[in-house]
Chains A and B, each alone.
Chain A
Amino acid sequence: MFIINCPYCGERDQTEFTCHGEAHIARPEKPSEVTDEEWGKYLFFRNNPKGMHFERWTHDHGCRRWFNVMRNTVTDNIIKTYKMGEPRPEIPNE
């Protein structure tokens, strides 16, 4: 049961949040111009790394904002939380 540092509210219990899968998957600028394969990749393909993972969360029972989380899937340590629109952080050497 994590403690998640909402970039807007601060540290809160995991029960207040929902995870929405991998982050930094941009919607194609012009969907009509991408191939079926590229569109399929956007729709269906996700990483499932053993280690550092970037994922989207919402603070549903709080500010209702979306933000990103960098989490190590092996230790479940949350390294960083950051606002939407901010760049993907560097993966630290652990």
Chain B
Amino acid sequence: MSNQNRTTYGGKVDRNKPINFTFNGKSYTGYQGDTLASALIANDVHLVGRSFKYHRARGILTAGSEEPNAIVQLGIGARTEPNIRATEIELYEGLEAASQNCWPSVNFDIGAMNNILSRIFPAGFYYKTFKWPPSMWLFYEHFIRKAAGLGQSPTAKNPDRYEQKFFHNDLTIVGAGISGLLAALGAGRSGCKVLLIDENPELGGYLLDYDFSINEKDGKKWIKNITDELNGLSNVTILKRTTAMGYYDYNYLTALEKVTNHHSELSNTLPRERYWRIRSKKVILAQGAFERPLVFADNDRPGIMMASAGQKYLARFGVLPGKSVVLFTNNDHAYMTAYAFVKKGAKVTVIDTRESVNTKITEKCISLNIKIYKSYSIIKTYGDRKVNKIELQKVDKDQGQLIGEIESISTDCILMSGGWNPAVQLFSQSRGKLKYDLKLNTFVPDKLVKDQKIIGSNNGQFNLEENLNESYQAGFMLAKELNFNSVENIKWTGQEEIGFTHSDVEPYMLGKKKITQGSKHFIDFQNDVTAADIFLAQREGYISVEHTKRYTTTGMGTDQGKTSNVNALALMSHIHNKPVDEIGHTTFRPPYAPQTIGAIAGRSVNKLFDPERKTSIHEWHVGNKAVFEDVGQWKRPYYYPKNKENMHDAVKRECLAVRESLGILDASTLGKIDLQGPDTAKFLNMIYTNAWSQLDIGSCRYGIMCNEHGMIFDDGVTTRIGEHHYHMTTTTGGAARVMSWLEEFLQTEWLDMKVFCTSVTEQWSVLSISGPNSRVFLQDLTDINLSKESFPFMKFREGQVCGIKARVFRISFTGELSYEVNVPARYGKFVWEQFIEHGKKYNITPYGTETMHVLRAEKGFIIVGQDTDGSATPIDMNMDWIVSKKKEDFLGKRSFTRPDTIRPDRKKFVGLLINDKKTVLPEGSHIVEKALKQPPMKMLGHVTSSYYSPTLGHPIALAMLQDGLNRMGEQVLIPLMSGKVVEATVSDTIFYDKEGMRNNE
């Protein structure tokens, strides 16, 4: 039988539009307008999951976003999503969902043994376990992981698209219940730009499920009229199925809009979810309140739900969750649900914790044949997969004892109501302060932050008529504050059959010791925290609310304790006999509800995750099968394998080509900064460690930059192009950092210096040609006289290269005769291709970054960030020659005489020759004094660069070594991960052409 719990009429589902879905592999039919939860209850499916710790049978507790129990695995394959609340899933054709946290099935669950063995799972179990020896933890881990899983993450790539939207407006209203709607109306009529957000597919909030009137007319018609008017206002944006997730400083909110989650077919045009980033001048919170569970023995069985949830299933979905219903309440308001259930043919018994109930209600109950047990409590429930019987007993409030005879009632559904908790999570996130209201027995907003209002039941205000008036006013008053035309105030009247008032909620907290014995009184359903756990935490000294939370894990589930927090705090207050305000509350943090990482990432995935920077010559490298290396965001050719060469062979061939004839490197990624202004030389004198005043126009100079701690942070060649015009180069990775560094000092320290810095990295393509044949090769293609006399080493010339106006720098990073040809980036590829074509007779060989590294290491040139690590001074790198003694001041200078930088035992930059002439040391290897079987060993330093040198035919390495300069020729030991110990001889850092003859040719 299908839909056996569906009423014949009523509700907003479309009984003419059946929808097929499966749950745990079984097929069911629901209707258009159902949620998964309502369709399951309609089909008499009440057992939907197993609890986290004890694997107890769990059903559907609520009908909204606060649901702790009915969380399911939705969808299959790459789209599967864990921890989705069945109460929020709109039913669509073909929906597939499954229970979580149960194996092998929800009906026969092996983990349920935990329930029987619950004494080994007390509060703080994890902490206690962690204290044991690690070997025991390994034993437990296997057991815990298997038992404690909450759903499964998809393993395949997410096929869906997520978008983000930035939104700026005057007023954002969170929650479109009657309060939010009226506030939006008040503000919307004033003409201000309003965003109204609601997590439900339909506006109207909780009043959609109850009978009420506004201005003496049917309230639901009013909701429709107001919604229609708002839809017609062009200054009002309404977002349904959208949950406000975070509320940060300065009225910044994030919200997750479910765009197509509820569609059975994927859209080609719409994203799955849209993440809103909202900045508003004013914010109104109108999120309403969550009904509070009552804490009683075995209050977690399927079939036990919140009274308001029962009301919603009946009124909204035409589903009757039970036919023989017990309503357990401490307030008047829940009686409305008793009436509604009787109207649909259910038998209802009320158990009221209070001693007296007003006559109006009593009389109506008599007329509807509803029996009321006053001052009674449920003391036990029965039923494995669904509740089937309760036991109840009278409570002597003065003594805190159960008295009299135990009675029992057969039932198939318990509706409970313990009052209402305002949904203060977002308010608290925004730094709003809360206070405990002794009449409502819950936390309500106290101190607001700037440009914010909180209205309706969200503010602890439950009177309908007052809410109507306050909300409408809140809307237009805020608009008025923003200088919009004020609209006229309207007097609203509103009526509910039984309103929720402060005075009739009884503070009611079972869980006194005598009552707890034997059964479990759940406080936090999702994390399986019982009243006994809270007692235990207090006994063991975890008295602070933050400690109790972490020790018991109450409020730490995916529901963030929306139904449990207040009860936990009330119980703590009761245990310590202290006001709840003194107990305090834990901090609420975003997100308000679970959200997908996909939505946070938005379009910043795959290629768009991080920009890729490519030189103008990139296409040629791709066409010529370069292997690429990421250098920052740049894609640089690593090496160019020919035929079936491996990396080693390709690098060897490239290195030898440069040393023997001619190589070409795309050096366009080098950072380039154009410096102009009359104070540039003075500025460079402060930025670099060496002297710049005497540099002639047309000359280049190598420089090192240090920070104020005296540590090297970048290097490069800077060239004087004109009187007050310099061209600075930086490392590829350091370009942006250097630019900011220059700007920092120009803008914050030396405000009077006239220097202007412009990044020109991407304006120039840099073709570095290197090798003994580079002069004869280039001379054929340029009008610049390249003769040794006319264009010596470390000079700069301008002229035509391949017919393009070029800047040519005679500098060398390989130790060979080299020219760096700079042409405007748009000509880079053209000139490169010309070079390749004309260089054939010299066997011109493109080389990548690896060959560049090998060649420079053979020459002992440092790479900042590889041979240095932010803790090396130029003196540590044996570069005293570049540190000016004459200049009175430059950045870092004072630090060269700090006690730490003049320590004699600092590590120094040295070379290492490997004794076996075979082993290429792993970079980062430690150099030790004595090699022992296992650490600790005294470390003398580490290897910073290490390669096989094709030129020399043996490996070479560079290293930072304690007191290195005094160890020349000494033997050192380098233990490898494999256990092998490599012997090496300390040498100077220049392995090839020590006199530097080759680049001076």
Question: A residues within 8 Å of B by Cβ?
Answer: 1-3, 13, 20, 27-28, 30-32, 34, 36, 39-40, 42-43, 56, 58, 64-66, 75-76, 84-85
Contact = CB atoms under 8 A, between A and B. Distances in A.
Interface stretch (B183-191, B228-236, B305-313, B893-901): B893-901
A5 to B, nearest CB: 11
Contact of A34 (B708, B747, B888, B894): B894
B125 interface: no
A56 B980 CA distance: 52
Contacts of A75: 431
A27 B898 contact: no
Contact of A13 (B279, B747, B889, B893): B279
A31 B894 contact: yes
Contacts of A39: 894-895, 898
A27 B891 CA distance: 10
B894 A84 contact: no
Interface string B226-257: 00000000000000000000001110100000
B888 A43 contact: no
A84 to B, nearest CB: 5
Nearest to B710: A43
A32 B888 contact: yes
A32 B249 contact: no
Nearest to A78: B250
Q: Of B249, B743, B748, B889, which is in contact with the most chain A CB atoms at under 10 Å from its CB?
A: B748
B602 to A, nearest CB: 14
A2 B249 contact: yes
Contacts of A32: 888-889, 893-894
A66 B743 contact: yes
Contacts of B893: 31-32
Contact of B279 (A3, A34, A43, A64): A3
Contacts of A30: 888-889
12 contacts: A3-B250, A28-B894, A30-B888, A31-B889, A32-B894, A34-B894, A39-B894, A39-B895, A43-B895, A58-B743, A58-B744, A84-B748
Interface in B736-772: 740, 743-744, 747-749, 751
A32 B896 CA distance: 10
Nearest to B254: A1
Given A27-B749, A43-B709, A2 B744 contact: no
A43 B708 contact: yes
A58 to B, nearest CB: 8
A-B pairs with lowest CB-CB distance, top 10: A31-B894, A1-B252, A66-B747, A1-B248, A3-B250, A76-B249, A66-B748, A39-B894, A84-B748, A27-B749
Contact of A36 (B249, B744, B899): B899
A2 B249 CA distance: 6
A4 B463 CA distance: 40
A28 B749 CA distance: 10
A41 B760 CA distance: 37
Interface in B866-898: 888-889, 893-895, 897-898
Interface in B701-750: 708-709, 740, 743-744, 747-749
A56 B748 contact: yes
A32 B748 CA distance: 20
A47 B63 CA distance: 51
Contacts, number: 50
Contacts of B250: 1-3
Contacts of A13: 279
Nearest to B248: A1
Contacts of A3: 250, 279
Nearest to B890: A31
Contacts of A84: 747-748, 751
Nearest to A28: B894
B504 to A, nearest CB: 39
Interface of B: 248-250, 252, 279, 431, 708-709, 740, 743-744, 747-749, 751, 888-889, 893-895, 897-899
Contacts of B740: 58
Given A1-B248, A20-B744, A43-B895, 16 more contacts: A1-B249, A1-B252, A30-B888, A31-B893, A32-B888, A32-B889, A32-B893, A34-B894, A36-B899, A39-B895, A40-B898, A58-B740, A58-B743, A66-B747, A66-B748, A84-B751
A43 B744 CA distance: 16
Contacts of B895: 39, 43
Most chain B C-beta atoms within 10 Å of own C-beta, residue among A3, A34, A65: A3
Contacts of B709: 43
B452 to A, nearest CB: 14
A75 B449 CA distance: 10
A40 B894 CA distance: 10
Nearest to A60: B740
Most chain B CB atoms below 10 A, which of A31, A32, A84: A31
A22 to B, nearest CB: 12
A11 to B, nearest CB: 10
A58 B534 CA distance: 49
A40 B708 CA distance: 10
Nearest to A76: B249
A42 B743 CA distance: 20
A65 B748 CA distance: 10
Contacts of A2: 249-250
B889 A65 contact: no
A66 B742 CA distance: 12
Contacts of B748: 56, 66, 84
B874 to A, nearest CB: 17
Nearest to B747: A66
A56 to B, nearest CB: 7
Contacts of B899: 36
Contacts of A27: 708, 749
A40 B650 CA distance: 50
Nearest to B708: A43
Contacts of A31: 889, 893-894
B448 to A, nearest CB: 13
Contacts of B743: 58, 64, 66
A47 B731 CA distance: 34
Contacts of B751: 84-85
A56 B747 CA distance: 11
B884 to A, nearest CB: 13
A72 to B, nearest CB: 11
A32 B747 CA distance: 23
A10 B894 CA distance: 38
A40 B709 CA distance: 9
A36 B898 contact: yes
A31 B751 CA distance: 18
A14 B250 CA distance: 10
A54 B967 CA distance: 49
A64 B897 CA distance: 34
Nearest to B166: A13
A91 B747 CA distance: 24
Contacts of A58: 740, 743-744
A60 to B, nearest CB: 8
B8 to A, nearest CB: 52
Nearest to A77: B450
Nearest to B889: A31
Central interface residue in A1, A34, A65, by most chain B CB within 10 Å = A1
A56 B745 CA distance: 13
Nearest to B897: A36
Contacts of A40: 898
A10 to B, nearest CB: 13
Contact of B744 (A34, A66, A85): A66
Contacts of A66: 743-744, 747-748
A8 to B, nearest CB: 11
Contacts of B249: 1-2, 76
A10 B284 CA distance: 26
Contacts of A28: 894
Nearest to A40: B898
A20 B897 CA distance: 26
A10 B899 CA distance: 46
